[in-house]
Structure 1
Amino acid sequence: MNKDTLLEISEKDISAIRFLKAPRKLVWEMWTNPEHITHWWGPDGFSTTTFKMEIKPGGVWRFVMHDPGGRDFQNKIIYIDVVEQKLLVYKHSGAEDTEDIHFHVTVSFEDDGDNTKITMKMVFETSEELERVKKEFGAVEGLRQTLSRLGEYLLQL
């Protein structure tokens, strides 16, 4: 288990804090450029294919996460608010016809000396939905692994 990501789970949300050894501008670029996202987005062993990414309010990111066993997970993000190098707020859902998942996400990017503090909060509509996503998709460990992969990727640059 990676202890570099601090997690807190409450009734309807999961919050994570991760300190990254890179400047905020670079972390933002890793989070908003599909050429980089493919290298770290998703739990261990996953890869990501981006079809469309528009980082602006009302913009859409459509992508597929591929698990190591060959299963694909369609995803759609609609950006609500974007503040360059500081904030992303979006609605995250699966494919409408196959993945009934909907949650709201806020990601903040803050300077921490020469490094960056990321705070990510995922809010689900109900506590039952959060429990389902934790059980069916391993959301808590998946989030921890995803942020760990981002940290490892940044160290390779």
Structure 2
Amino acid sequence: MAANKSVEQELLITRVFDAPRESVFEAWTEAERLSQWWGPQGYELEVKKLELYPGGLFLGSQRSPEGHVMWGKFVYKEIVAPEKLVFVQSFSDEDGNTIRAPFSGTWPLEVINYLILTENGGKTTLTLRGGPYQASEEELATYESMRPHIQQGLVGTFDQLDAYLART
């Protein structure tokens, strides 16, 4: 977390999936699987690159039903298969250069995510926490103002992960 970030600004989501931890981890870390569920409902994800090692890069584009394309990336900080992923998420251009979010000039350039997976009785509990990384006060305020939308979007994305895991 950024030094200027308080615990109250941290986003925290917990979700239980009826799938083994290895399957949930693979859904996050294999390009073919990730492309089946990541992102807003109705969007199509194309994975350009997925390098699963510390310092490695996920780079992909999301196409809306109307044809609008946005690029994004994860830079992996820590990987402990099948229980933990730490990555910094950003909007990017198609070459992976970090850019400002297309919807806000004050959205944080980087958001750090800590993904923890635990298994009990064949079900996996996913805990995602994180928030702005190395952000200015203005970026922190923008993130905080959008928190309900972020949570709603992640719930929808995790609904898609749940449906994907049920199909596989």
TM-score normalised by the shorter chain: which range applies?
0.7 to 0.9
Aligned to 1:129: 142
Would you say the 8 A contact 1:87–1:106 is kept in 2? yes
Aligned to 2:104: none
Change (3 A) 1:115 1:68: same
Aligned to 1:7: none
Would you say the 8 A contact 2:90–2:99 is kept in 1? no
Q: Distance in 1 between matches of 2:123 and 2:129?
A: 20
Trace 1:15-34 onto structure 2 (pairs within 5 A): 15-34=12-31
1:14 aligns with 2:18: no
1:154 aligns with 2:161: no
Q: TM-score with structure 1 length normalisation?
A: 0.85
Q: Secondary structure, in 3 states, of the residue corresponding to 2:85? A: strand
Taking only the aligned residue pairs, the percentage that are identical comes to 26
2:77 alignment partner AA: I
Q: Secondary structure, in 3 states, of the residue corresponding to 2:128? A: strand
Q: Distance in 2 between matches of 1:106 and 1:98?
A: 22
Would you say the 8 A contact 1:109–1:118 is kept in 2? yes
Shift of 1:16: 0.7
Aligned to 1:119: 127
User: Which structure shows the bigger proportion of residues in strand conformation?
Assistant: 1
Q: TM-score with structure 2 length normalisation?
A: 0.80
Runs of at least 5 residues in structure 1 that lack an aligned partner in the other structure = 1-9
Q: Distance in 1 between matches of 2:100 and 2:63?
A: 15
Shift of 1:27: 1.0
Q: Distance in 2 between matches of 1:21 and 1:93?
A: 30
| Aligned residues: CA RMSD | 1.8
Q: Secondary structure, in 3 states, of the residue corresponding to 2:27? A: helix
Would you say the 8 A contact 1:13–1:130 is kept in 2? no
Aligned to 2:40: 43
| Count of residue pairs the alignment pairs up | 146
Aligned to 2:76: 79
Would you say the 8 A contact 2:54–2:77 is kept in 1? yes
Shift of 1:79: 0.5
